[in-house]
Structure 1
Amino acid sequence: MVSIVIKVQEILDERDMSQKQLAEMTGLRRAAVSEICNNLRTSINRDHLEKIAEALKLNDISQLIELRVEQEE
């Protein structure tokens, strides 16, 4: 099984930042940031990803998104 995982919460945890701080930095709604951080969204606006990447000073999409392949038993 393959899943796409948004790693925003992992980055925030590493940097000791809150979702609220990220929302303020990006101008995104706190609810939207929370849904992204908790991988609850089935689709994510490209503009949102760009704002998050810019705010967190990321330079590689793999820092933000991961394709996880789980072995079937």
Structure 2
Amino acid sequence: MKNNAEIRELTLAELNDRINEEIFQQEKLRFNHTVSTLENPLKLRQGRRLIARLKTELRNRELNNNTGK
């Protein structure tokens, strides 16, 4: 799992790619958890929080770009 400093170092394209990748992984985990129990159900929570951190960084960058204009 990435910490906030590593997330801030990502470029905008990498950030968007990472968000899409994590959402896809989260959907797979949810499906697998529905079919059978996961070995580590905390991965669902960790994935959800990572997506939230990535989206927060994306939103902060959008706000910083708009205030600079």
Q: Do both proteins adopt the same fold according to a TM-score greater than 0.5, normalized to the shorter chain?
A: no
Structure number with greater CO (CA < 8 Å, separation at least 6) is 1
Report the structure number with the largest CA radius of gyration.
Answer: 2
The two structures have a TM-score, normalised by structure 1, of 0.29
Normalized per residue, the structure richer in strand is: 1
Q: Which has the higher helix share?
A: 2
TM-score by length of 2: 0.30
